[in-house]
C-alpha cells in the first residue's frame, strides 16, 4: 500500500516530533527536533540538560526515540514491588536513549556521559524506523520500520537477534506486554506476537490509517478469579494517524473477537499519549492524550467490558497567551507532550515551541471539564545560557510592588475607632445633607477672591489655590502651593485657608510625607503650621482618630530614632515659643477673625451638636489610648509633662480651653514636629 | 517483605565536593572528586554522576590517577588505606593498608611502584611527606608498610606540596618558608621570607605551591595575595623570584597549565586569573564564579580546568576561560537560618543557598534545581564585610506566596530588616515581588508563618519578633484607578507583657494562633485576634511550638530550652503530659498525626517519633548523627511505601529529612546499602560499539592496509582469538572478573605464549580471510538457528539471509579490488 514512501511530507506519517519523558520519575524530557538535534531537558527546572547532534542528523533525522528502562532493573530484574520502592532514589540510572533514524539505523545515546554509546546498523532496517521499544527486563530492543520488518536487537552485543516480517506494509508501532512475553505490532491492523516463537497469537482489526501509538493500559485482567496467563484479559489502546478515535482492545482467550471494545474520542489526531496503569480493579485508568491541535484531553475510566458509545474526555486542558491590551487576542500555545507524574495526581505539560519548550507541573483538578491556563511565554525566547550554568533565577522586582516603610499606612495596624455611636453618624450625615449649594459656594468664593484681591496678591491667591486644588485634587495646583519654601507665606496661607479644607490638607500632607524625603521636608513645614494654627478646629472633630491615625503613626515612627533628643528639643522650643507666643497673640487676632468668617458657613446650626461630639470624641480617644490621662485634662500646668505625648492628643485635650492657653499649647505641637524634620533630613 | 530491613540513616544531597582538588581523567571525559567517604566520578560533558566509588571507611583525603595506567585511580583516606580503582567500571582493584592516617596522596610517573602520602607523626601538628612502596601482589588486600621519609614539618594540606619537573624535586611550603627536596641529590634547600615581625611583610605566609611541569620554576601563593615565581632554587644562594600581584586577599590555589605556559590562580575574589607567560601584564580573568575558589585543577589533556568552590560546587572551565558545566551539591552557606521548607509547587526542598539566595533542591532527583535571588545585590566576596543575610522564609497558600526576611546588622543598635512578599505569577511561572516592608519589626524576627488553612481565602501571615510584638499581615485590595493590585498590610499587632515573641504557629484549621513569649504560650483567636488563653510551664523559654494535626488537633506541643516537652490540651486548657527531653528539632508531619523530635545529648542525637495523644513514642532511633541536628522536615512521598510493622509506619507516606550542623542532609531509608547506592552497583547494560566513521574510512583503512603486510601478527591475533576459546590461559583471562585477576605482568607471558601457538598454525593470507568468514558464521550459528526457527511463519526468511550472504561476498570482492588499487597508491607514496 501507500505507506511505504517515508519522508517528512508523507501525509500518513504521524504528526508531532519524537519526544519522551524518562522513565520512573520523569526527570528528563528528550526531544528530537526536526533539525535532527536531540535535546534533553530537565523537567524539574526547565533547563536544557544537554544537546546532541548525531553526525548524520541531516540525512537521517530522528524519527522515534525511547528511553531505556532503568539500569538496575535491566540487570537484576527484581520483583515489581521492589522496583516501585526504588522509584524515589534511582534518578541517576536513566541513561540510554535509543534513537531511530529515517535511514534505518538506530543510535544508542548515553545521557550520563553525553556521547553516542553505540550504533545499531548491521542487519537492521533499510528504511525509516517507525518505533522503538525496550524490553523492560532483558535489555533487548525491538524496532519496526517502513521496510515491513520487526527486528529484535541484543543491545549488549549490538547485534540483530532476530528479524522477521511484521506486516505486508510498513510496521508503524510496537508495544511489549506487561509480562514481557508478547509484542504488539501494528501497521494498519494490529498483531500480537509471542516473542519466544515469533508466532502470531491474535489479530485485531486496527485502524484505517497507520497506527501511531500502542499502549497496554492494564497489567492485570479485570476479573482476578481466572488464572492469569500474562496476557488474556488485558486491555490495550491504539491511536492512529488522522484518526480522532482512540480504540481500546481486549486480548481474549478465544480468537474470534477482533473489534475494539471501546473508544475514546478526541478533537484531533493524537500526538502523544500517556497513561497511569491501574493497579487494581477499582482504580481507574488515567489517560492523557495530546492532540495535534495542542490540547490535552484527560480521560478517567475503569476499563470493564464493552462500551459502544465513544467516550468523551473528562477534562480538556488548553494553554493560551494572556493577550496584552485590547488589540492582541489571546493566542493558543500548543501543548507538545504530557506525562503523568509518579504520584498520579499531577501532570507534566510541555508546551511552547520545539526549540525552547516549557515544562510545567500542573496539579490535576478533574472537577472542571475545561481548563485554560494563561501563560506568558514571550520572555522565554531570551537566551538562557548564563542561567543554564549558574542556575540562578531572578524573581521580578518591578516598581509596581508595594513598599511599606514605618509610618506608612499598613505598616502598623491601623488605629481603629471605637465602635461609632449612632449619634455621631447622624450628625455626620446631617453635615452632608446640609451642604451648601453650588451657587452659594460660588458666591462665597467670589467674595473671598474679591476680598483677597485687596490684600497681598500672592498670599491671598494661595489659600484659594490650595482649597481649589484640594477640592479638585489637582496635582499641579497643589504642587504650586505646597512646594513653596517661604515660611511666612506658609503661615499666612494656613491662617487664611477655610477650615473645611484643613482635614483634606492634612491628608494630602500625609500622603506627601510618605513620599520622597526631599518633598517631605517641605511638607513638614506645612504640617507644623497647620497643626499649630488649626489645633482648636481639629480638636472639635469627632472622627479625628481614624482620620489622622496614619499621620500619628507616621510621626511616631519618624521621630523614633532620636526619641530623647527630640524630647529635649521640644522642651527647649516650648520655652522659647512660650515667650514669643504671648507677643504674637495680638497679631494673630486679626487673621483669626477671617477664619471665623469661613467657619460660619457650615457651623451655623451645628454648634450644639459639635459640642456633644467633641466630648464624645474626647472620651473615645481617652478610652482608646490613654486611660491614665483621663483626669488630667483640666490642669493648665501640665504642659511640660504633656509634651511627651503626640501633637494631636494635646490639641484634643486643650480643645475646650480658652484661646490663650490653647495657643500656647498648640505650640507644643512644634516640639514633636521639629525633630521629625531632623530625622528626615538625615 | 520490607519490614525485616531496619531503618538506616542515609546521606543525600551530595556531601562536600570541595574538600580536595578534583582530578580529571586522561581523556578529560570524567572528573573525580572526593565526597565524604566516597569518590565520585562525574562526566565533564553532562555533569552527571557516572559512578560512586565506595569502599573507604573514613573520609577520603586524596585522589590521583595512576600514572602507569590512566584508567586507574588511587585514593587515600583517613582509614589508613590506599585503594586502586578501575573508574570506568567503578570496581575496586586493590587495597593497600598503610596503617597511618593519610592526609594526601601524590603519584609520580617516574616513581613507578611507590606513591607519596602525607602522614601525621606523633604530635598532632607535625606532618611528614613519606613515600610508600606499593608491593606487587595478586591478592586484593596488601600491607604496604615500607615507608621512606622524604620531608618533615610540612603543612597537612596537599595544596602545600607540589612535585616539579617530572619528579625531580618536591616543593613544600609552610608558614614563612619554602623547602625544596631534590630526589637525585637527596638534599633539601630552604628559602625563608621575612616573617611577621616586620610590619610590611605581615602577611607573607605561604598558602599554596605549584610547580612548572617542564622548567625549574615554582609558584607560591601568599596570604597577602601575591604570587611569587621562584627560579634557580637548586642553588641555595643564587635563587631569584618575581612577584605577581593581583589578588587582594589570600591566594587559595595555584595551578600551571599542562604545557606550563600559563599559571592559574584563584582566591576569595572568586575570580579565576590566568597569567600568561608568567608575566603581570598578560592576565585573563574569569570573574563572578560565585564563591571563593578553593582548588584549581587542570586536565592532563589540557583542554579543561576546574575550580572547586566554597559553596560546594565544581565548575568545569574550557581552555578559553568559559565555564561549561557546574557540578553542584547542596550549597553550603555559613549558616542555615531559614530552616528546611518544602515548596508546595515544585516539591523541592528550600533553604539558604548562595549568599542572598534561596536554593531549591529536588529531593526526588537529588540535584539542585536553581537558586532564587532574593536580595538581588551583587555579593562582594571580601573578608569582614557585613552582608545582607537572608534569615527567614516561608511558603504560603500552596506556594502562591513566599515571604522572605533579610537583615543586615553592622552594630548592635543598627539593625536593618526587610521583609519581602513574593507572589507566584502563573503566567510567567516565576515569583514577582508584591510588597516590600522595611523594618517590619524593630528587632530580629524570630518566626514567620503563613496560615495555610483552606477556609481562609484571605492569605494571612504572622511574624514574631524580639521586640515583643507579633504582627498579623493580611492581603488587601490596593486597587486604584490606575491599576488593579493587591498588597499586604498589617492587620493586628499583638504583644504580651513586653516579653519577646519567640515562635508562632497556626493550628491546622487556621482558627487559632499560638505565639510563644519566652516562657509563656499565648493562644489567639484568628478571627478577632483576641487573646484566648495562656499556658506557662516555667521550664525555660519555648524553643519549638506546634499544633497537633488531624485527630490530635486539640493538642499543642511546646519544647523548652530546659529540656521539657509539654503537651497541652486546648479543650481543657490543661497540661496533658510532659516529658524530659532536650529537643533540638521538633517537626510535625503535615500529613499525619506524627511528630518527629530530635533530642541532643552528649553522645549524639536521637530521634523520637510520637503522637501528641499518647506520651509514648512510636519509634526511637538512637544516634542518628554524631553532630548536632539543626533542622528537620517531613516530605510527602510521591509513591507511598507499605511498611506493615508499626514502628515504621510513620515512614509510609512521608519521609523525614534533617540537616546537621556541618550541613549534610540526611534521611531515613530502609533500603539496603547496595540498593541505595545504585550508581555504583550497576553498569551500563550495553557494550560500546561504534561503527567506523567516514574519517576512519579515509585514514584508518589506508593505515590498516599499510600495516597489513608488516603487521600480520596483529591481524592473526584478531582473527584467531575466537578459535582459541578453548585455550585455558585466554579463557581464564576473559572470564575471570577483573578485580580477582592476578596482575597483568603475571598473566602476560602465558597469554603471549598462547598467541604464539596460534601464529604457527596460520598459513597464508587468503585462506585466512576465508577462515574469518567461517568463524563469523560459526559464531552466529546459534543465533541463526533460532532465527530460522522463529521466522518460519514469515515467508521470505531465506531471502533475507541470502542477501546478507551475497552482500558479504560482493563486499569481499570489492575489498580485494580496493586492496590492489591501494597498494599501487601506497608504493607511489
Residue B2 has pLDDT above 70, yes or no: no
pLDDT in tens, A469-497: 888 887 788 888 888 888 888 888 888 88
Q: Which three cell numbers stand for residue B618?
A: 512510636
Q: In what order do the strands lie in the sheet with B542-547?
A: B542-547, B555-560, B564-569, B574-580
Q: Which three cell numbers stand for residue A254?
A: 478465544
* CB neighbour class for A645 (10 Å; exposed up to 12, middle 13-18, buried from 19): middle
* pLDDT, position A44: 83
* pLDDT, position A443: 60
pLDDT in tens, B656-710: 999 888 888 888 877 654 444 443 334 444 556 666 666 666 666 666 666 555 5
- The minimal CB distance from B326 to the residues A85, A200, A391 is found for A391
Query: Does some domain include residue B97?
Result: no
Cβ count within 10 A of residue B680: 21
Task: Please tell me what DSSP assigns to residue B698.
Answer: I
Residue B105's beta-bridge partner residues?
B117
- The minimal CB distance from B783 to the residues A161, A200, A376 is found for A161
Contact B670, B648 (CB under 8 A): yes
Contacts of A402 in chain B (CB under 8 A): 434-436, 478, 485, 487-488
- The minimal CB distance from B366 to the residues A85, A91, A405 is found for A91
Buried b (16+ CB within 10 A) or exposed e, A317-330: bbbebeeeeeeeee
Contact A396/B430, CB-based, under 8 Å?
yes
Select from A91, A96, A121, A514 the residue whose CB has the most chain B CBs within 10 Å, as the one to mutate to test that interface: A91
Q: Give φ, ψ of B9 to 5 degrees.
A: -90, 130
Q: Distance (Å, rounded) from C-alpha B745 to C-alpha A129?
A: 48
For B180-186, what is the mean pLDDT? 87
Q: Distance (Å, rounded) from C-alpha B783 to C-alpha B795?
A: 19
Mention every residue, 6+ apart, whose C-beta is less than 8 A from residue B671: A85, A86, A89, B5, B10
* pLDDT, position A289: 92
Residue A46 has pLDDT above 70, yes or no: yes
Q: Distance (Å, rounded) from C-alpha A263 to C-alpha A252?
A: 17
Residue B638 has pLDDT above 50, yes or no: yes
Residue B764 has pLDDT above 60, yes or no: no
Contact B372/A393, CB-based, under 8 Å?
yes
Residue B83's beta-bridge partner residues?
B75, B95
Contact A410/B675, CB-based, under 8 Å?
no
Contacts of A387 in chain B (CB under 8 A): 370
pLDDT in tens, B84-121: 999 888 888 889 998 888 999 999 888 778 889 998 87
Q: Which three cell numbers stand for residue B700?
A: 584508518
Contacts of A49 in chain B (CB under 8 A): 46
Please report which confidence band the pLDDT of residue A86 belongs to, taking 50, 70 and 90 as the band edges. Answer: very low
Strands (E), B212-303: 217-222, 226-231, 240-245, 251-256, 262-267, 272-276, 283-286, 293-298
* pLDDT, position B200: 61
For B797-808, what is the mean pLDDT? 51
**Out of A286-290, B85-89, B92-96, B600-604, least confident range:** B600-604
Cβ count within 10 A of residue A492: 20
* pLDDT, position B15: 72
Q: Distance (Å, rounded) from C-alpha B701 to C-alpha B819?
A: 10
Contact A402/B49, CB-based, under 8 Å?
no
Contacts of B291 in chain A (CB under 8 A): none
Residue A560 has pLDDT above 90, yes or no: no
* pLDDT, position B690: 66
Query: Does some domain include residue B468?
Result: no
pLDDT in tens, B12-34: 766 788 889 999 999 898 999 98
Contact A113/B360, CB-based, under 8 Å?
no
Contacts of B423 in chain A (CB under 8 A): none
The range of the structural domain enclosing residue A502 comes to: 462-561
pLDDT in tens, A66-76: 988 865 433 33
Contact A97, A30 (CB under 8 A): yes
Residue B815 has pLDDT above 80, yes or no: no
Cell 603471549 belongs to residue: B752
pLDDT above 90 coverage of chain A, percent: 4
For A361-367, what is the mean pLDDT? 80
Please report which confidence band the pLDDT of residue B367 belongs to, taking 50, 70 and 90 as the band edges. Answer: confident
Contact A338, A349 (CB under 8 A): yes
Please report which confidence band the pLDDT of residue A342 belongs to, taking 50, 70 and 90 as the band edges. Answer: confident
Measured CA distances, A669 to A554, A555, A563, A679, B118 (Å) = 15, 11, 15, 16, 77
* pLDDT, position A475: 79
Please report which confidence band the pLDDT of residue B471 belongs to, taking 50, 70 and 90 as the band edges. Answer: very high
Q: Distance (Å, rounded) from C-alpha A634 to C-alpha A636?
A: 6
Query: Does some domain include residue B320?
Result: no
Contacts of B794 in chain A (CB under 8 A): 164-165, 198
For A132-138, what is the mean pLDDT? 84
Roughly what angle, to the nearest 10 degrees, separates helices A438-454 and A457-472?
Answer: 160
Among A347-356, A377-386, A501-510, B297-306, the range with the most confident prediction by mean pLDDT is B297-306
- The minimal CB distance from A44 to the residues B45, B365, B687 is found for B365
- The minimal CB distance from A81 to the residues B1, B362, B488 is found for B1
* CB neighbour class for B130 (10 Å; exposed up to 12, middle 13-18, buried from 19): buried
Contact B687/A110, CB-based, under 8 Å?
no
Please report which confidence band the pLDDT of residue B720 belongs to, taking 50, 70 and 90 as the band edges. Answer: very low
Radius of gyration of chain B (CA): 34
Measured CA distances, B741 to B136, B139, B730 (Å) = 13, 9, 12
Chain centre to alpha carbon of residue B619: 31
* pLDDT, position A658: 39
Q: Which three cell numbers stand for residue B709?
A: 603486510
Write down how long chain B is: 829
Among A166-170, B188-192, B313-317, the range with the most confident prediction by mean pLDDT is B313-317
Cell 587559595 belongs to residue: B252
pLDDT in tens, B424-434: 988 888 899 99
Q: Distance (Å, rounded) from C-alpha A277 to C-alpha A234?
A: 11
Chain centre to alpha carbon of residue B324: 17
CA nearest to A19, candidates A266, A364, A335: A335
Closest chain A C-alpha to B434 CA, distance in angstroms: 5
Contacts of A373 in chain B (CB under 8 A): 426
Which is more confident, A675 or A580?
A580
Roughly what angle, to the nearest 10 degrees, separates helices A457-472 and A502-513?
Answer: 80
pLDDT in tens, B442-458: 889 999 999 887 766 78
Select from A112, A117, A279 the residue whose CB has the most chain B CBs within 10 Å, as the one to mutate to test that interface: A112
Q: In what order do the strands lie in the sheet with A129-134?
A: A129-134, A140-145, A149-154, A159-165
The ipTM of this complex is 0.74
Please report which confidence band the pLDDT of residue B821 belongs to, taking 50, 70 and 90 as the band edges. Answer: low
Domain count along chain B? 1
Contact B360/A45, CB-based, under 8 Å?
yes
Query: Does some domain include residue A526?
Result: yes
Q: Distance (Å, rounded) from C-alpha A171 to C-alpha A157?
A: 25
CA nearest to A482, candidates A549, A535, A527, A537: A527
* pLDDT, position A640: 40
Q: Distance (Å, rounded) from C-alpha B509 to C-alpha B512?
A: 8
CA nearest to A651, candidates B166, B694, A642: A642
Q: Which three cell numbers stand for residue B186?
A: 637527596
Which is more confident, B314 or A601?
B314
Task: Please tell me what DSSP assigns to residue A17.
Answer: -
Write down the H helix ranges in A179-220: none
Q: What is the DSSP string of A561-580?
A: TTHHHHHHHHHHHHHHHHHH
Query: Does some domain include residue B170?
Result: yes
CATH code, domain with B175:
2.130.10.10
Select from A58, A317, A404, A564 the residue whose CB has the most chain B CBs within 10 Å, as the one to mutate to test that interface: A404
Domain count along chain A? 1
Query: Does some domain include residue A483?
Result: yes
CA nearest to B288, candidates B321, B250, B312: B321
Residue B296 has pLDDT above 90, yes or no: yes
Query: Does some domain include residue A567?
Result: no
* CB neighbour class for B303 (10 Å; exposed up to 12, middle 13-18, buried from 19): middle
Q: Which three cell numbers stand for residue B446?
A: 524570630
Please report which confidence band the pLDDT of residue B82 belongs to, taking 50, 70 and 90 as the band edges. Answer: very high
Contact A412/B490, CB-based, under 8 Å?
yes
Measured CA distances, A652 to A592, A616, A674 (Å) = 19, 12, 20
Closest chain A C-alpha to B149 CA, distance in angstroms: 41
Mention every residue, 6+ apart, whose C-beta is less than 8 A from residue B675: A86, B681
Query: Does some domain include residue B615?
Result: no
Residue B374 has pLDDT above 60, yes or no: yes
* pLDDT, position B195: 66
Residue B587 has pLDDT above 80, yes or no: yes
Chain centre to alpha carbon of residue B754: 46
The range of the structural domain enclosing residue B236 comes to: 157-195+202-298
Q: Distance (Å, rounded) from C-alpha A476 to C-alpha A203?
A: 85
**Out of A11-15, B62-66, B68-72, B106-110, least confident range:** A11-15
Contact B220, B193 (CB under 8 A): no
Contact A395/B372, CB-based, under 8 Å?
yes
**Out of A180-189, A366-375, A601-610, B285-294, least confident range:** A601-610
Query: Does some domain include residue A192?
Result: no
* pLDDT, position B806: 55
Amino acid at each position: 500500500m501507500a505507506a511505504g514512501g517515508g519522508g517528512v511530507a508523507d501525509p500518513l506519517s504521524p504528526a508531532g516530533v519524537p519526544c519522551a519523558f524518562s522513565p520512573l520519575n520523569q526527570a528528563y524530557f528528550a526531544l528530537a527536533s526536526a533539525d535532527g538535534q536531540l535535546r534533553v531537558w530537565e523537567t524539574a527546572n526547565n533547563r536544557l540538560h544537554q544537546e546532541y547532534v548525531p553526525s548524520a542528523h541531516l540525512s537521517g533525522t530522528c524519527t522515534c526515540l525511547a528511553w531505556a528502562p532503568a539500569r538496575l532493573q535491566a540487570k537484576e530484574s527484581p520483583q515489581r514491588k521492589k522496583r516501585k520502592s526504588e522509584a524515589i532514589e534511582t534518578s541517576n540510572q536513566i541513561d540510554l536513549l535509543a534513537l531511530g533514524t529515517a535511514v534505518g539505523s538506530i543510535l544508542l545515546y548515553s545521557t550520563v556521559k553525553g556521547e553516542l554509546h553505540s550504533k545499531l546498523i548491521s542487519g537492521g532496517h533499510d528504511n525509516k524506523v517507525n518505533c522503538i521499544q525496550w524490553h523492560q527486563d532483558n535489555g533487548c530492543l525491538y524496532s519496526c520500520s517502513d521496510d515491513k520488518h520487526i527486528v529484535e536487537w541484543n543491545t549488549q552485543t549490538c547485534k540483530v537477534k532476530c528479524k522477521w516480517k511484521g506486516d505486508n506494509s510498513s510496521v508503524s508501532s510496537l508495544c511489549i506486554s506487561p509480562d514481557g512475553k508478547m509484542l504488539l505490532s501494528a501497521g494498519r491492523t494490529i498483531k500480537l506476537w509471542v516473542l519466544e516463537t515469533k508466532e502470531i497469537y491474535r489479530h485485531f482489526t486496527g485502524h484505517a490509517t497507520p497506527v501511531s501509538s500502542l499502549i497496554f493500559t492494564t497489567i492485570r485482567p479485570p476479573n482476578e478469579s481466572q488464572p492469569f496467563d500474562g496476557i488474556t484479559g488485558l486491555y490495550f489502546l491504539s491511536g492512529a494517524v488522522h484518526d480522532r478515535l482512540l480504540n481500546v482492545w481486549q486480548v481474549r482467550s478465544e480468537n474470534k473477537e477482533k473489534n475494539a471494545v471501546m473508544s475514546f474520542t478526541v478533537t484531533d489526531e493524537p500526538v502523544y499519549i500517556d497513561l497511569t496503569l491501574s493497579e487494581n480493579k477499582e482504580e481507574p485508568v488515567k489517560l492523557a492524550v495530546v492532540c495535534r491541535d495542542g490540547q490535552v484531553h484527560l480521560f478517567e475510566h475503569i476499563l470493564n467490558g464493552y462500551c459502544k458509545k465513544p467516550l468523551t474526555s473528562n477534562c480538556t486542558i488548553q494553554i493560551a497567551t494572556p493577550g496584552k491590551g485590547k488589540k492582541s487576542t489571546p493566542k493558543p500555545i500548543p501543548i507538545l507532550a504530557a506525562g503523568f507524574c509518579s504520584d498520579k495526581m499531577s501532570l507534566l505539560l510541555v508546551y511552547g515551541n520545539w526549540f525552547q519548550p516549557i515544562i510545567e507541573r500542573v496539579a490535576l483538578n478533574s472537577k472542571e471539564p475545561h481548563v485554560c491556563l494563561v501563560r506568558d511565554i514571550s520572555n522565554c525566547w531570551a537566551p538562557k545560557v548564563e542561567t543554564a550554568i549558574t542556575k540562578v533565577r531572578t524573581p521580578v522586582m518591578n516598581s509596581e510592588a508595594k513598599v511599606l516603610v514605618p509610618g506608612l499606612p499598613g505598616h502598623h495596624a491601623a488605629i481603629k475607632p471605637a465602635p461609632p455611636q449612632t449619634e455621631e453618624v447622624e450628625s455626620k450625615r446631617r453635615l452632608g445633607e446640609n451642604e451648601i449649594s453650588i451657587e452659594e459656594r460660588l458666591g462665597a468664593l467670589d467674595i473671598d477672591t474679591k476680598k483677597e484681591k485687596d490684600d497681598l496678591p500672592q498670599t491671598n491667591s494661595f489659600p484659594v489655590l490650595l482649597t481649589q486644588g484640594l477640592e479638585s485634587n489637582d496635582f499641579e495646583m497643589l504642587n504650586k502651593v505646597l512646594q513653596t519654601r517661604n515660611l511666612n507665606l506658609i503661615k499666612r496661607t494656613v491662617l487664611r485657608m477655610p477650615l473645611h479644607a484643613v482635614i483634606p490638607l492634612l491628608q494630602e500632607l500625609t500622603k506627601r510625607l510618605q513620599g520622597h524625603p526631599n518633598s517631605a521636608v517641605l511638607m513638614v513645614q506645612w504640617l507644623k503650621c497647620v497643626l499649630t494654627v488649626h489645633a482648636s478646629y481639629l480638636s472639635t472633630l469627632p472622627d479625628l482618630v481614624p482620620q489622622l491615625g496614619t499621620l500619628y503613626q507616621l510621626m511616631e515612627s519618624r521621630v523614633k530614632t532620636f526619641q530623647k533628643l527630640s524630647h529635649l528639643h521640644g522642651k527647649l522650643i516650648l520655652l522659647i515659643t512660650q515667650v514669643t507666643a504671648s507677643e504674637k497673640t495680638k497679631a494673630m487676632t486679626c487673621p483669626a477673625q477671617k477664619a471665623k468668617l469661613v467657619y460660619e458657613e457650615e457651623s451655623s446650626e451645628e454648634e450644639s451638636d459639635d459640642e456633644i461630639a467633641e466630648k464624645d470624641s474626647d472620651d473615645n480617644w481617652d478610652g482608646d489610648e490613654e486611660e491614665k490621662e483621663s483626669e488630667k485634662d483640666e490642669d493648665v500646668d501640665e504642659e511640660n509633662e504633656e509634651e511627651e505625648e503626640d501633637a494631636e492628643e494635646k490639641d484634643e485635650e486643650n480643645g475646650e480651653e480658652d484661646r490663650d492657653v490653647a495657643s500656647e499649647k498648640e505650640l507644643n505641637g512644634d516640639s514633636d514636629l521639629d525633630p521629625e524634620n531632623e530625622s528626615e533630613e538625615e | 517483605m520490607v519490614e525485616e530491613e531496619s531503618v538506616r540513616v542515609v546521606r543525600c544531597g551530595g556531601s562536600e565536593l570541595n574538600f580536595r582538588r578534583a582530578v580529571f581523567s586522561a581523556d578529560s571525559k570524567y572528573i573525580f572528586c572526593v565526597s565524604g567517604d566516597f569518590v565520585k566520578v562525574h562526566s565533564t560533558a553532562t555533569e552527571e554522576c557516572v559512578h560512586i566509588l565506595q569502599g573507604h571507611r573514613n573520609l577520603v583525603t586524596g585522589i590521583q590517577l595512576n600514572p602507569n595506567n590512566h584508567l586507574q585511580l588511587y585514593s587515600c583516606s583517613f582509614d589508613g588505606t590506599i585503594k586502586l580503582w578501575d573508574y570506568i567500571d567503578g570496581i575496586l582493584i586493590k587495597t593497600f593498608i598503610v596503617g597511618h592516617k593519610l592526609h594526601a596522596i601524590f603519584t609520580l610517573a617516574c616513581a613507578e611502584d611507590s606513591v607519596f602520602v602525607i602522614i601525621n607523626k606523633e604530635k598532632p601538628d607535625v606532618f611528614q611527606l613519606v613515600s610508600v612502596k606499593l608491593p606487587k601482589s595478586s591478592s586484593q588486600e596488601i600491607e604496604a608498610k615500607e615507608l621512606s621519609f622524604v620531608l618533615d614539618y610540612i603543612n597537612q594540606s596537599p595544596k602545600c606540596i607540589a612535585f616539579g619537573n617530572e619528579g625531580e624535586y618536591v616543593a613544600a611550603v609552610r608558614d614563612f618558608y619554602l623547602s625544596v627536596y631534590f630526589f637525585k641529590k637527596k638534599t633539601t634547600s630552604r628559602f625563608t621570607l621575612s616573617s611577621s615581625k616586620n610590619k610590611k611583610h605581615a602577611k607573607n605566609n605561604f598558602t599554596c605551591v605549584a610547580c612548572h611541569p617542564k622548567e625549574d620554576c615554582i609558584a607560591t601563593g601568599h596570604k597577602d595575595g601575591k604570587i611569587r615565581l621562584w627560579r634557580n632554587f637548586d642553588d641555595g644562594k643564587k635563587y631569584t623570584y618575581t612577584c605577581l600581584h593581583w589578588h587582594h586577599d589570600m591566594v587559595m590555589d595555584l595551578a600551571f597549565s599542562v604545557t606550563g605556559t600559563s599559571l592559574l590562580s584563584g582566591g576569595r575574589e572568586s575570580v579565576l586569573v590566568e597569567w600568561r607567560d608568567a608575566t603581570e601584564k598578560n592576565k585573563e580573568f574569569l570573574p563572578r564564579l560565585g564563591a571563593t575558589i578553593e582548588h584549581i585543577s587542570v586536565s592532563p589533556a589540557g583542554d579543561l580546568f576546574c575550580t572547586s568552590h566554597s559553596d560546594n560546587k565544581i565548575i568545569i572551565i574550557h581552555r578559553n576561560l568559559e565555564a561549561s558545566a557546574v557540578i553542584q551539591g547542596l550549597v553550603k552557606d555559613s549558616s542555615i537560618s531559614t530552616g528546611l521548607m518544602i515548596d508546595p509547587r515544585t516539591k523541592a526542598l528550600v533553604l539558604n543557598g548562595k549568599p542572598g539566595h534561596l536554593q531549591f533542591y529536588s529531593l526526588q532527583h537529588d540535584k539542585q534545581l536553581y537558586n532564587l535571588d532574593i536580595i538581588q545585590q551583587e555579593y562582594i566576596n571580601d573578608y569582614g564585610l557585613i552582608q545582607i543575610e537572608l534569615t527567614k522564609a516561608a511558603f504560603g497558600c500552596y506556594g502562591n506566596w513566599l515571604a522572605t526576611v533579610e537583615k543586615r546588622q553592622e552594630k548592635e543598635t543598627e539593625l536593618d530588616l526587610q521583609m519581602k512578599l513574593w507572589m507566584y505569577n502563573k503566567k510567567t511561572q516565576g515569583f514577582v515581588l508584591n510588597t516590600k516592608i522595611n523594618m517590619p519589626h524593630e528587632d530580629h524576627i524570630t518566626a514567620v508563618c503563613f496560615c495555610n488553612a483552606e477556609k481562609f481565602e484571605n492569605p494571612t501571615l504572622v511574624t514574631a519578633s524580639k521586640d515583643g510584638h507579633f504582627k498579623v499581615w493580611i492581603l488587601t485590595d490596593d486597587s486604584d484607578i490606575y491599576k488593579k493590585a493587591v498588597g499586604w498590610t498589617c492587620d493586628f499587632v499583638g504583644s504580651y507583657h513586653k516579653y519577646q515573641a519567640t515562635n508562632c504557629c497556626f493550628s491546622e484549621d487556621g482558627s487559632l494562633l499560638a505565639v510563644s513569649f519566652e516562657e509563656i504560650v499565648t493562644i489567639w483567636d484568628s478571627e478577632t485576634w483576641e487573646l484566648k488563653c495562656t499556658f506557662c510551664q516555667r521550664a525555660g523559654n519555648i524553643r519549638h511550638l506546634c499544633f497537633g494535626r488531624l485527630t490530635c488537633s486539640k493538642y499543642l506541643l511546646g519544647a523548652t530550652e530546659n529540656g521539657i516537652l509539654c503537651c497541652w490540651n486546648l479543650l481543657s486548657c490543661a497540661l496533658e503530659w510532659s516529658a524530659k527531653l532536650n529537643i533540638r528539632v521538633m517537626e510535625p508531619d503535615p500529613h499525619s498525626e506524627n511528630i518527629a523530635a530530635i533530642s541532643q545529648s552528649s553522645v549524639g542525637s536521637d530521634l523520637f517519633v510520637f503522637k501528641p495523644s499518647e506520651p509514648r513514642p512510636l519509634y526511637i532511633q538512637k544516634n542518628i548523627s554524631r553532630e548536632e541536628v539543626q533542622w528537620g522536615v517531613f516530605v510527602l512521598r510521591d509513591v507511598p511505601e507499605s511498611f506493615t510493622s508499626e514502628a515504621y509506619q510513620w515512614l509510609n507516606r512521608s519521609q523525614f529529612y534533617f540537616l546537621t550542623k556541618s550541613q549534610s542532609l540526611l534521611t531515613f531509608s530502609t533500603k539496603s546499602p547496595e540498593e541505595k547506592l545504585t550508581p555504583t552497583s550497576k553498569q551500563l547494560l550495553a557494550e560500546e560499539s561504534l561503527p567506523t566513521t567516514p574519517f576512519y574510512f579515509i585514514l584508518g583503512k589506508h593505515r590498516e592496509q599499510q600495516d597489513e603486510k608488516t603487521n600480520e601478527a596483529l591481524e592473526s591475533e584478531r582473527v584467531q582469538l575466537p578459535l582459541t576459546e578453548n585455550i585455558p590461559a585466554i579463557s581464564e583471562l576473559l572470564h575471570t572478573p577483573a578485580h580477582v585477576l592476578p596482575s597483568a605482568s603475571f598473566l602476560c607471558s602465558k597469554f603471549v605464549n598462547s598467541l604464539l601457538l596460534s601464529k604457527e598454525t596460520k598459513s597464508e593470507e587468503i585462506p585466512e580471510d576465508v577462515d574469518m568468514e567461517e568463524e563469523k558464521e560459526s559464531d552466529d550459528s546459534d543465533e541463526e538457528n533460532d532465527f530460522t526457527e522463529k521466522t518460519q511463519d514469515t515467508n521470505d526468511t531465506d531471502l533475507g539471509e541470502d542477501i546478507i550472504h551475497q552482500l558479504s561476498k560482493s563486499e569481499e570482492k570489492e575489498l580485494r579490488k580496493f586492496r590492489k588499487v591501494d597498494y599501487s597508491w601506497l608504493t607511489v607514496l
